Amino acid sequence: MNNKRKINIIYRLLFNHFGPQHWWPGNSREEIITGAILTQNTAWANVEKAVHNLKSNNLINFHSLLNTSHSKVAALIKPSGYFNQKAETLHCFARHLSIYDFDLNRFFNQNILELRNELLSIRGIGRETADSIILYSANKPIFVIDAYTRRIFSRNKITPGSKIIVAEKRKYEYDDWRLMFESSLEKENKLFNEYHALIVQTGKNFCKTRPLCNQCPLIKVCAESI
Nearest to 207, CA basis, from 158, 151, 147 = 151
pTM, two decimal places: 0.92
User: What's the pLDDT tens digit per position in 74-125?
Assistant: 999 999 999 999 999 999 999 999 999 999 999 999 999 999 999 999 999 9
Indicate if 131 and 163 belong to the same structural domain: no
Give strand ranges (E) for 86-218: 164-166, 169-171
Identify whether the C-beta of residue 169 lies closer than 8 Å to the C-beta of residue 154: no
CA distance 221 to 124: 37
Indicate if 16 and 35 belong to the same structural domain: no
CA distance 86 to 102: 19
Q: Which domain holds residue 45?
A: 29-137
User: What's the pLDDT tens digit per position in 167-195?
Assistant: 444 556 899 999 999 999 999 999 999 99
CA distance 153 to 30: 31
CATH number of the domain within which 52 lies: 1.10.340.30
Indicate if 121 and 188 belong to the same structural domain: no
Indicate if 217 and 186 belong to the same structural domain: yes
